Chains A and B, each alone.
Chain A
Amino acid sequence: MELSCKHVWAHISEYIDQSVPADVREDIERHLEHCEICSAVLDSTRNILVLTADNRTFELPVGFSERLHDRLTKELGSEEELKK
């Protein structure tokens, strides 16, 4: 079946996640072969996801890990105190 661009966009997220049914996947791929706009939409979305998953994009605040483990150390220590 020949899909419209709108149909392709509606499935783009599932297509990226490879969770689209096989027949729809084939239709999408046939469409992508000749549609530059949909190919670019797909590429740009994928690229945004690559950027998102890169640890440099969303960094933790300075000292976060230290504060977290300090708090845990206190918790473990207070338990000891209670036992005494």
Chain B
Amino acid sequence: MRRTEPFCWRGKRGGWRWRVGWDGDAAERSVSWLDWSGCRRCLRAAPWCCLTKAERRLVGSPRHICTVMRSHHCAAGYGFGHGPFTRRSVGAVARQTESDAIQADSHFRRSARELTFGGMAYQWAHFFRTGGGCWRWQMSRSMVCGFGVRDLEPGGSKPVPITSEMACAMRRFSPDGTQIAVLQRRWQSYNCFLRLGSRAGCAFGEPLAPLRFSADGQWLLVQHLKSSRAPGLWCRACI
């Protein structure tokens, strides 16, 4: 079964823990989220830092993560063994992740008021913020029922609710305020219509960061993160 909802919860010592890719959906995409999870310089936070050891084992080889991410990070200006990927600074990253989530949540609540989207986005964000629970889960699901993003895959239709996670990474609102383009922490891009019941949206197989909507709201400029991030790694290899 393919998990469609991003899932996160509070860690024991604060911060957020994100469950990602454990059911094999990373392998279904053309680009594994791990390859492009970015460092703190590239994206606000690196979610794999918040994974447990068991989850890390499930999503991939730790050696690969360390090699790629640490060399990338050293190149970004941190010394070897320093930066957010050391053991000591994992807590700092977790706090940053949490502050990102809270910031996105407050942003979303503000947006919800402005766009008369009601308390639904807030309810959903609240579910993630509080760590969730059965009754909250069911309530949130029912409240966002009918609102989702449809895949462009032929015959595929999977609703993806707007969550604080989606609003965290990169987001752009259309000029008329009816659409939002987001890049999830799991490096999936979505375009959503902020109107209940409207079934539309785009889901792309590669990480595309939304840059700007056109004035008429028909087009969206996006940045290919894959080609933007990769040259650095290749350059280092050449040197």
* A, B: real partners: no
